[in-house]
């Protein structure tokens, strides 16, 4: 080994390389790091051997070193390819790794032969090599491996993102700097004749190695732009300083060729002073200029935050809010996607957005690793997750981290920021990778942190609003449904009311049934309906009414005869209609022919169904007094499964109403029948009555005239007008006279009654002093009373009574009857008659101490032929007509007559009252 000045430089580079290798291997030894260390070692070997070639002083030495110098490049190519493969995380097998190394191994085997470097000569300008054929093979090998390595790196860069892309960028940047510097020092400068910078070439490799090592070792890289800009500023400053010195030295060299020492010293000092003074302003200027160029798209985070805040303040609904936050963040931060997922009621986190790359199937359970991590309030960043996964040695920790990473990938997120409210995770903000592929800067991450609480408040508000809105909508829906139901029910009720009104108004069964049939279409809105009833015989069914619409009229024309001529036999034909009636059950049919065929031919039934568009038929039996009397068939345009309960209800109600109408009709029929019978009977009775009245009248007249004659003669004989008779004869004659007088009275009663009934009993009113009438009659009757040993008293009222408008003769009969009865029905005691004026009437009372009257009989005694029970045995000669006539007469005067008695043997008092003022005349009719 030889040592020269250059060796010191090589040693420095080697030391740096050792430091870099140490940095790489201190923490971990993975394939990427090892391959990079391999590259560093290869470069070091090359540097050392290269230096030895330069220092060779003999041909033999030069030949050995110039052959050994090939080892470095062979390994460099191999390691570069390895590095590119490992660094870009290609999945490669051990076999491939070994395969790649075969050409390198072969080359290494022959490195010391003359197939590489044949010979060397030492010339004045340096060492001259003559190469063997393997050298060219090596050239091809190197070029191939280098191209492959770069291709791998470049293609990988296109697909990479986040921190990985940034790492690649550092690698490239290092490469470019190295290449520029090396080509400057080792190609351009030698061309213009400046040789002394040749040693910069190998040194430039250090730039690449340093950049790459830094990229791999550092976890979070600085924004690469900052490095570029800072480097650029200092580069320009160096150029400025170096240029200034070079220019001034050159100028002074021309101006003061003879002046040495002091002059040059002064100029240099002046230049240094100028440079020091100008350095800072120039640096500022350059910085400003580069800032303008490189950070033109620099984001004003405050402005973004402000825009987000105002959007969050404005929007109150959840989805527009989420959409707006996503849009602003996406556009302002130039990221691929933004997604905010609020926590739902189950405590999980489900996406509500369907915007690629996200959809609503994206959901994170509260137990997922990512959510558990975010709940701690920390942000999750994919890049640092990857780092942690690489760094961790704990397999369980690795599993957890990988689960989190997978969660992040599902959300296409580079950053997941927690949205916390009162210590709870109420949502997650997922931010996708930047479109530029850059990593997020600390400023941006800080912004997400600031955004969190604001977003939490907005989300909470939106959630409340959504809840209120959902509640309101629900309420509205319910109200609408209820209103619709009510409206429907109301329509039905009105329809039903019309039918009910009709039923109660009319007894015309034909008309009612027709209107019910029409209501099925008009009021209820069905296609139509048919009302059938069971005959009196309980066996035959006949159609009573069918809805009249133009369509049905058309359908009826298909029938061979009028519809109401189709009679069915309940027990012969098993149609659904008949079954509904027989079983008293509601049935639903889908084929019309099932309902009416036979008797209606099947083909025709099908034709009608088609023509009318009938999809279902509901058959509801009609009940009347717990018996099925018929059925209502409803034809509907919808299938059975669409018929609502309400519709069934209304059909039932209509059938029930029809039943009521039927019952009413039957009642009315019965009443009419009974009425007709009664009228006939009445007619016959009237005729009989008339015949009887006539008979009584004729008989009485015919009897009375001879009777009056007989009585007259008897009276004369008893009075001795025809000479004296023996006492026996006289006694008999007296009896005959009494009997005939009784008969005349009876006949008179009969006559009066028949007159009353014939409407010929006339009264003539004139002013009458009633006390005179009473007094006259009393004096007549007193004799009879005394004969029976009874006292008959009459006290004339004082002062006198007003005259009444009355028929005195008829009232005389009344008094006669009452006093006569009193005498007749009193065995001992007395009878007293009194009169008085009460209000506007004159009241007459006849009081006796006789047999009395049972209270329940008192009222009936004024009826025709009525006598007290058991009286006929004691007094067989009564007629039961006296009080009847008396009542008629008193009532004809506008008065009233009644009796009061405390019961049997307690005596009785008969009263009658006549009003003072009277109409002129009147006729009594029965
Ligand atoms: P008659 O006296 O001929 O039977 P009336 O019409 O005068 O017919 O009387 C009907 C009945 O009223 C009598 O049969 C008798 O039973 C009853 N009656 C009438 N006046 C009296 C009376 N003063 N006391 C008891 N019963 C009386």
What strands lie across the sheet with 380-381, from one edge to the other?
338-342, 424-431, 415-421, 380-381
State which of 244-258, 510-524, 562-576 shows the largest mean pLDDT.
510-524
Q: What is the whole-number distance in angstroms between the Cα of residue 706 and the centre of ligand 1?
A: 28
880 lines ligand 1 (CB under 6 A): yes
**CB 385, CB 413: distance < 8 Å:** no
401-427 as b/e, with b when 16 or more CB fall inside 10 Å?
Answer: bbebbebbebbbbbbbbbbbbeeebbb
What is the position in ligand 1's atom list of the atom closest to the CA of 821? 20
pLDDT at 20: 85
Measure CA of the first residue to CA of the last residue in the chain; give whole Å. 173
pLDDT at 1 over 60: yes
More confident residue, 915 or 224: 915
Taking the C-alpha atoms of residue 245 and residue 107, their distance in angstroms, rounded to an integer, is 49
pLDDT at 219: 53
Taking the C-alpha atoms of residue 236 and residue 244, their distance in angstroms, rounded to an integer, is 12
pLDDT at 190 over 80: no
Give residue-wise pLDDT tens across range 708-736: 888 899 888 888 888 888 888 889 988 99
Q: Give the closest residue (by CA) to ligand 1 atom 19.
A: 821
| Residue carrying structure tokens 């849009």 | 327
DSSP 69: T
Q: Give the closest residue (by CA) to ligand 1 atom 8.
A: 880
Structure tokens at 497: 């009311």
Taking the C-alpha atoms of residue 783 and residue 781, their distance in angstroms, rounded to an integer, is 5
pLDDT at 652 over 80: yes
pLDDT at 630: 92
Q: What is the whole-number distance in angstroms between the Cα of residue 873 and the centre of ligand 1?
A: 13
Q: Give the closest residue (by CA) to ligand 1 atom 11.
A: 867
Establish how many alpha carbons lie within 13 A of residue 871's alpha carbon, considering only the half-sphere containing its beta carbon.
Answer: 22
Q: Give the closest residue (by CA) to ligand 1 atom 16.
A: 868
908 lines ligand 1 (CB under 6 A): yes
Query: Mean pLDDT across the stretch 736-753?
Result: 87
**CB 65, CB 52: distance < 8 Å:** yes
What is the position in ligand 1's atom list of the atom closest to the CA of 848? 23
Structure tokens at 330: 């996406």
Lowest mean pLDDT among 156-170, 536-550, 740-754: 156-170
pLDDT at 339: 93
**CB 152, CB 32: distance < 8 Å:** no
pLDDT at 430 over 70: yes
Q: Give the closest residue (by CA) to ligand 1 atom 23.
A: 822
Query: Mean pLDDT across the stretch 244-252?
Result: 69
Q: At 202, is the secondary structure helix, strand, or coil?
A: helix
146 lines ligand 1 (CB under 6 A): no
Q: What is the whole-number distance in angstroms between the Cα of residue 866 and the centre of ligand 1?
A: 9
Q: Which residues pair with 630 in a beta bridge?
A: 533, 622
Query: Mean pLDDT across the stretch 183-206?
Result: 71
Is pTM beyond 0.85? Reply is: no
848 lines ligand 1 (CB under 6 A): yes
Task: Report the percent of the chain where pLDDT is more than 90.
Answer: 27
Give residue-wise pLDDT tens across range 534-549: 988 888 888 889 999 8
- Residue 342's closest CA among 206, 458, 422, 217? 458
Lowest mean pLDDT among 53-67, 177-191, 752-766, 839-853: 177-191
State which of 6-10, 395-399, 499-503 shows the largest mean pLDDT.
395-399
What strands lie across the sheet with 540-546, from one edge to the other?
568-569, 540-546, 528-534, 627-636, 616-624, 587-589
Q: What is the whole-number distance in angstroms between the Cα of residue 705 and the centre of ligand 1?
A: 27
DSSP 317: S
871 lines ligand 1 (CB under 6 A): yes
Q: Which residues pair with 427 in a beta bridge?
A: 342, 419
Lowest mean pLDDT among 255-264, 472-481, 810-819: 255-264
220 — pLDDT class (breaks 50, 70, 90): low
| Residue carrying structure tokens 């990079």 | 36
- Residue 132's closest CA among 67, 76, 78? 67
Give residue-wise pLDDT tens across range 99-157: 999 999 999 998 888 888 888 888 776 777 788 888 888 889 999 999 999 899 888 88
pLDDT at 334 over 90: no
882 lines ligand 1 (CB under 6 A): yes
677 — pLDDT class (breaks 50, 70, 90): very high
Q: Average pLDDT, whole number, for the chain?
A: 85
Kindly report the CA angle at 304 between 326 and 441, in degrees rounded to 5?
Answer: 90
Q: At 867, is the secondary structure helix, strand, or coil?
A: coil
Q: What is the whole-number distance in angstroms between the Cα of residue 776 and the centre of ligand 1?
A: 22
More confident residue, 809 or 26: 809
Task: Report the percent of the chain where pLDDT is more than 70.
Answer: 92
Please provide the size of the chain in residues. Answer: 926
pLDDT at 264 over 70: no
More confident residue, 421 or 220: 421
822 lines ligand 1 (CB under 6 A): yes
- CA 450, chain centre distance (Å): 41
In 98-184, at which residue ranges do the beta strands (DSSP E only) sit?
117-123, 126-131
Query: Mean pLDDT across the stretch 411-434?
Result: 91
**CB 854, CB 903: distance < 8 Å:** yes
645 — pLDDT class (breaks 50, 70, 90): confident
Q: What is the whole-number distance in angstroms between the Cα of residue 786 and the centre of ligand 1?
A: 20
**CB 143, CB 103: distance < 8 Å:** no
pLDDT at 445 over 80: yes
Surface-to-core class of residue 562, CB atoms within 10 Å of its CB (0-12 exposed, 13-18 middle, 19+ buried) = exposed
868 lines ligand 1 (CB under 6 A): yes
3-class secondary structure for 828-866? CCEEEEEEEEECCEEEEEEEECCCCCCHHHHHHHHCCCC
In 334-399, at which residue ranges do the beta strands (DSSP E only) sit?
338-342, 349-350, 363-364, 380-381
pLDDT at 763: 87
pLDDT at 636 over 90: yes
Lowest mean pLDDT among 182-191, 519-528, 764-773, 863-872: 182-191
Give residue-wise pLDDT tens across range 869-911: 888 888 888 889 999 999 999 999 999 999 999 989 999 999 9
pLDDT at 923: 61
Structure tokens at 685: 């009775």
pLDDT at 370: 92
Q: Give the closest residue (by CA) to ligand 1 atom 1.
A: 878
- Residue 38's closest CA among 93, 92, 100, 90? 100
pLDDT at 28 over 80: no
- Residue 279's closest CA among 241, 224, 226, 253? 241
- CA 683, chain centre distance (Å): 73
**CB 414, CB 381: distance < 8 Å:** yes
Q: What is the whole-number distance in angstroms between the Cα of residue 867 and the centre of ligand 1?
A: 6
Q: Give the closest residue (by CA) to ligand 1 atom 22.
A: 822
pLDDT at 222: 54
227 — pLDDT class (breaks 50, 70, 90): low
265 — pLDDT class (breaks 50, 70, 90): low
What is the position in ligand 1's atom list of the atom closest to the CA of 907? 24
Taking the C-alpha atoms of residue 310 and residue 313, their distance in angstroms, rounded to an integer, is 5
pLDDT at 201 over 80: no
907 lines ligand 1 (CB under 6 A): no
* Residue 357 backbone phi and psi in degrees, to 5: -85, 10
* Residue 633 backbone phi and psi in degrees, to 5: -105, 120
Taking the C-alpha atoms of residue 858 and residue 836, their distance in angstroms, rounded to an integer, is 23
- Residue 173's closest CA among 218, 234, 215? 215
More confident residue, 614 or 274: 614
196 — pLDDT class (breaks 50, 70, 90): low
pLDDT at 23: 82
pLDDT at 255: 65
Q: At 194, is the secondary structure helix, strand, or coil?
A: coil
Quick one: which H or E segment has residue 628? strand 627-636
Q: What is the whole-number distance in angstroms between the Cα of residue 547 and the centre of ligand 1?
A: 70
Q: What is the whole-number distance in angstroms between the Cα of residue 821 and the centre of ligand 1?
A: 6
Pocket test for ligand 1, best of 883, 888, 905, 906 (most atoms within 8 A of CB): 883
**Kind of pairing, strands 528-534 and 540-546?**
antiparallel
More confident residue, 144 or 196: 144
State which of 293-302, 796-805, 821-830 shows the largest mean pLDDT.
821-830
Pocket test for ligand 1, best of 817, 848, 878 (most atoms within 8 A of CB): 878
pLDDT at 229: 67
**CB 542, CB 567: distance < 8 Å:** yes
């Amino acid at each position: 080994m030889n040592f020269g000045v250059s060796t010191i430089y090589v040693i420095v580079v080697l030391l740096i390389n050792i430091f870099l290798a140490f940095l790489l291997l201190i923490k971990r030894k993975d394939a990427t790091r090892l391959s990079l260390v391999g590259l560093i070692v290869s470069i070091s070997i090359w540097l050392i051997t290269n230096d030895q070639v330069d220092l060779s002083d003999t041909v033999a030495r030069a030949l050995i070193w110039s052959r050994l110098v090939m080892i470095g490049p062979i390994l460099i190519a191999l390691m570069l390819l390895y590095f590119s493969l490992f660094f870009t995380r290609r999945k490669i097998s051990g076999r491939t790794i070994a395969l790649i190394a075969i050409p390198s191994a072969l080359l290494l085997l022959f490195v010391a032969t003359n197939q590489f470097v044949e010979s060397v000569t030492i010339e004045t300008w340096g060492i001259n090599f003559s190469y063997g054929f393997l050298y060219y093979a090596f050239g091809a090998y190197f070029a191939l491996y280098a191209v492959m390595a770069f291709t791998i790196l470049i293609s990988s860069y296109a697909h990479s993102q986040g921190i990985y892309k940034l790492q690649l960028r550092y690698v490239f940047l290092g490469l470019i700097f190295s290449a520029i510097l090396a080509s400057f020092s080792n190609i351009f400068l030698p061309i213009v004749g400046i040789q002394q910078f040749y040693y910069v070439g190998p040194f430039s490799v250090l730039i690449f190695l340093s950049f790459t090592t830094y990229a791999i070792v550092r976890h979070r890289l600085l924004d690469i732009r900052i490095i570029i800009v800072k480097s650029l500023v200092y580069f320009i400053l160096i150029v400025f300083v170096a240029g200034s010195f070079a220019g001034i030295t050159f100028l002074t060299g021309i101006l003061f060729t003879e002046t040495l020492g002091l002059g040059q010293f002064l100029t240099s000092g002046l230049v240094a002073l100028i440079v020091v003074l100008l350095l800072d302003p120039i640096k500022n200027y350059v910085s400003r200029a580069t800032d303008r160029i490189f950070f033109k798209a620099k984001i004003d985070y405050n402005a973004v935050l402000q825009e987000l805040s105002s959007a969050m303040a404005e929007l109150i609904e959840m989805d527009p809010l989420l959409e707006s936050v996503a849009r602003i963040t996406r556009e302002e931060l130039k990221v691929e996607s933004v997604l905010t997922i609020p926590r739902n009621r189950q405590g999980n986190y489900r996406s509500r957005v369907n915007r690629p790359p996200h959809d609503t199937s994206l959901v994170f359970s509260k137990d997922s690793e990512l959510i558990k991590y975010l709940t701690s309030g920390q942000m999750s960043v994919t890049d640092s997750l990857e780092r942690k996964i690489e760094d961790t040695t704990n397999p369980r920790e690795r599993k957890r981290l990988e689960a989190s990473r997978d969660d992040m990938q599902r959300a296409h997120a580079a950053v997941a920021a927690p949205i916390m409210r009162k210590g709870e995770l109420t949502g997650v903000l997922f931010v996708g990778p930047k479109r530029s592929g850059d990593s997020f800067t600390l400023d941006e991450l800080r912004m997400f942190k600031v955004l969190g609480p604001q977003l939490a408040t907005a989300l909470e508000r939106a959630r409340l609003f959504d809840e209120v809105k959902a509640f309101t909508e629900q309420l509205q829906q319910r109200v609408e449904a209820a209103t619709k139901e009510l409206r429907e029910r109301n329509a039905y009720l009105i329809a039903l009311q019309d039918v009910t009104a009709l039923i109660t108004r009319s007894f015309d069964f034909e008309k009612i049934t027709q209107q019910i049939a029409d209501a099925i279409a008009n009021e209820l809105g069905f296609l139509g309906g048919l009302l059938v009833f069971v005959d009196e015989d309980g066996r035959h069914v006949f159609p009573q009414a069918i809805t009249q619409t133009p369509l049905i009229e058309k359908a009826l024309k298909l029938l061979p005869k009028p519809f109401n001529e189709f009679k069915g036999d309940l027990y012969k034909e098993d149609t659904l209609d008949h079954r509904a009636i027989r079983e008293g059950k509601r049935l639903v049919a889908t084929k019309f022919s099932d309902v009416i065929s036979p008797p209606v031919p099947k083909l025709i039934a099908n034709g009608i169904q088609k023509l009318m568009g009938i999809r279902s038929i509901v058959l509801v039996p009609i009940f009347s007094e717990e018996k099925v009397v018929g059925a209502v068939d409803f034809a509907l345009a919808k299938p059975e499964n669409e018929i609502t309960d309400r519709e069934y209800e209304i059909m039932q109600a209509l059938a029930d109403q029809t039943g009521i109408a039927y019952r009413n009709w039957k009642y009315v029929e019965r009443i009419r029948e009974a009425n007709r019978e009664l009228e006939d009977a009445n007619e016959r009775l009237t005729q009989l009555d008339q015949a009887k009245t006539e008979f009584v009248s004729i008989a009485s007249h015919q009897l009375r005239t001879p009777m009056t004659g007989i009585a007259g003669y008897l009276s004369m004989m008893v009075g001795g007008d025809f000479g004296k008779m023996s006492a026996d004869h006289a006694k008999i004659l007296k009896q005959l006279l009494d009997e005939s007088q009784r008969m005349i009275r009876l006949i008179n009663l009969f006559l009066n009654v028949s007159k009353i009934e014939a409407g010929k009993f006339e009264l003539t009113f004139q002013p009458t002093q009633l006390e005179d009438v009473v007094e006259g009659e009393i004096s007549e009757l007193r004799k009879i009373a005394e004969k029976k040993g009874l006292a008959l008293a009459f006290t004339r009222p004082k002062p006198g009574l007003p005259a009444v408008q009355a028929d005195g003769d008829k009232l005389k009969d009344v008094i006669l009857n009452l006093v006569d009865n009193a005498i007749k029905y009193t065995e001992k005691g007395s009878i007293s008659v009194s009169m008085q004026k009460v209000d506007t009437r004159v009241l007459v009372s006849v009081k006796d101490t006789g047999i009395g009257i049972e209270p329940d009989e008192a009222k009936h005694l004024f009826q025709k032929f009525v006598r007290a029970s058991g009286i006929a045995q004691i007094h067989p000669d009564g007629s039961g007509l006296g009080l009847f006539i008396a009542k008629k007469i008193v009532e004809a005067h506008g008065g009233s007559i009644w009796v009061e008695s405390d019961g049997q043997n307690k005596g009785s008092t008969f009263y009658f009252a006549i009003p003072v003022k009277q109409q002129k005349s009147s006729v009594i009719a029965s």
